[in-house]
Structure 1
Amino acid sequence: MIIDLPDTTISQVAKKLVSVREEGGAVALGRVLTLIIAARNGVAEAAIDAANDASREHPMRVIVLTVGDGDAHLDAQIRVGGDAGASEVVVLRAFGDAASNAESLVTGLLLPDAPVVAWWPEAAPADPASSPLGRIAQRRITDAAASADVRDRLGLLGQEHSPGDTDLAWTRLTHWREQLAAVLDQPPFESVTAVEVRGSASSPSTALLASWLGLALDVPVAWAYEDPEQWSEGIKSVRLTRASGDILLERPEPGTAILTQPGQPDHDLHLPRRTLRECLAEELRRLDPDVLYGRVITEGWEKLGPPASAA
């Protein structure tokens, strides 16, 4: 069910939510958090779809805030039932001066006594934690892949990092990290002496994986960007050098990886690029600060040198 509320106020939206709950049952029952999405119209629907899918694992209230130019007014829309997955969605479209105070727009709609997560699917504030929406959130989710200059954005994330910040470029690495950790947890238990990471220049995950490996293994990490004509999606390969020979985890084409180890046959692995829904659902599983990500984006990033292509 979709309910449109043109030229409205936050008070009227809150009252309508109560009315919908009374008419349709306790739709807020079991909601575990409030997710605030700050996005322009062209991105908001994709973000809502991802949130609706994730809500089947994390029932929540989703507040979507978009801003625009024009005469000061607020349009709202409430979505429940089949149009909202296992969540309830409130879309706020603020125009002119009505968009001047983002915090006041959403505060009256937050679930009481529930954690708040803020998500910027595209351009994010330079310092998310000190932004109007970031100040009221326990977790703050950004996506460096949406930045025009990936390396500058990662450097800024490290400089401005606060506990509770995270980035979907890090979340997309989960399966790569799991595979590499599983390999190193098998004999022979030799030290890694060098690491090489290659991937797309448009993928901040390439640099974050290099940063994580350098921090975790305390070894030199060489990383480079692949030719865009040869590879344009995410991470291409990771090479770990040990005394007995190199371990190579390579993705020759999107979705498929090959693991090569000394003295063993090659293994084909399913390693697809993670969907937005998967990444969002993973981030919503933990509402405490991601300490490892904080170390990777600060300590690890400071240790990591420039990519070979930029040297």
Structure 2
Amino acid sequence: MNTTTQPLRAEAPLAEPVALYPSPLKEFWQAFSRNKGAVGGLLFMLLVVFCALFAPWVAPHNPSEQYRDFLLTPPMWLEGGQAQFILGTDELGRDLLSRLIHGSRLSLLIGLSSVLLSLLPGILLGLVAGFFPRLLGPSIMRLMDIMLALPSLLLAVAIVAILGPGLNNTVFAIAIVHLPAYVRLTRAAVMGELNRDYVTAARLAGAGLPRLMFVTVLPNCMAPLIVQATMSFSSAILDAAALGFLGLGVQPPTPEWGTMLASARDYIERAWWVVSLPGLTILLSVLAINLMGDGLRDALDPKLKNAV
């Protein structure tokens, strides 16, 4: 009896594992994009950042060039406006749109620099206060309480008045004003994490103090710090504009939104655009950053990002 052998069938390849959870970046964007206001704020700030980075090519005119024949020219859609000056000119005949675009560079620079100068020392002091609650914590927190007892703008004005007006001193003054918020927030987050099981396990595994502070605990405290940094960014822009309006910030003729407001306040009755447009730019920028902060809070807070 003939027996026929059946060819062996090739085994079907194993199915690729199905990703049960989205990537962290995709999950973050899904939670962030649920907040339509945050997405709108992000788009507006991307436009501002683009104008700041490419200001020499985006601005239609030199921000310091004076057109003596076009003093206080209204925007192009009003009677008497000129097509070459879309948003009009100021009291010296300088193009407002070009000055607003170049002013965004300084405003963003002041905001970013002051946030970094206050965030990094604030995190370090907050970690020290949290890890040494009896030795160094009380003295650090009492110093922060004294700084918080003073009005923020008054403290910034006092610092700039002592150091002198200018860009660098403005950044330093705003950073000092925002420092206590980071110290207190970092300390509170660290105190909440020190009793967790993973910190106890790291201690038992022989992790040193620097590793515990910067590798084990700090990454788990970054979510509220990121949100606070976003909010401080908008506050720094407002503080810089306030100092510029008082004549203690960036000095003219350098284009800066607060300085533009200060130089135009005498013309508010007969040339509203000279004051309204810089003020509207500050308003929209701060509003956009605050909306982004709300979106970051919703995306980074585990209690909120899963809520539909």
The TM-score, its normalising length taken from structure 1, stands at 0.23
The TM-score, its normalising length taken from structure 2, stands at 0.23
Q: Normalized per residue, which structure has more strand?
A: 1
Indicate the structure (1 or 2) with the bigger Cα radius of gyration.
2
